[in-house]
Structure 1
Amino acid sequence: MRPSTAAWLVGFIAIIALYALGPVLGLNAATPPILGMPPLYSWFVLVPLLNPIILGVVYLIDRRENAGADEDA
């Protein structure tokens, strides 16, 4: 498997895991508050901030691997 394909697959699994595992990890409790929010709310505020970072890393891996490829083809 090419590194860029593996990176996209890992990135996809990581983003799905962020959304799916937050409530399962016990963040569905009302206390203690994190930045004034219940833990589950703070998790769903944090996840959209992490998604661009994950996808940016995947993009950089893909770009580095395909640096010599012709983009117009």
Structure 2
Amino acid sequence: MGANFISLSLTFAYLAQSFLFDTQVYPDVVQYQLAIEGQNHTIHLEKNRDLIGKDFTETHYTKDGKRVTTSTHE
């Protein structure tokens, strides 16, 4: 059995000029060009600034079992 590989190239959906002069680290819109089994596919992604609500919390545990919760409204 041969391994299946996916060729991935990244293109940004904004002008190079805005990239050079804009201080924004992550673009609002990106496109991923995928070549899968000889067929080209494009995935369009747009930043969703309202995805996480104002009352969102995240909980994780330290190695010693201590519960740590952080919140976006702190």
How high is the TM-score relative to the length of structure 2? Answer: 0.20
The structure carrying a bigger strand percent of its residues is: 2
Bigger relative contact order, structure 1 or 2 (CA pairs below 8 A, ≥6 apart): 1
The structure carrying a bigger helix percent of its residues is: 1
Structure number with larger C-alpha Rg: 2
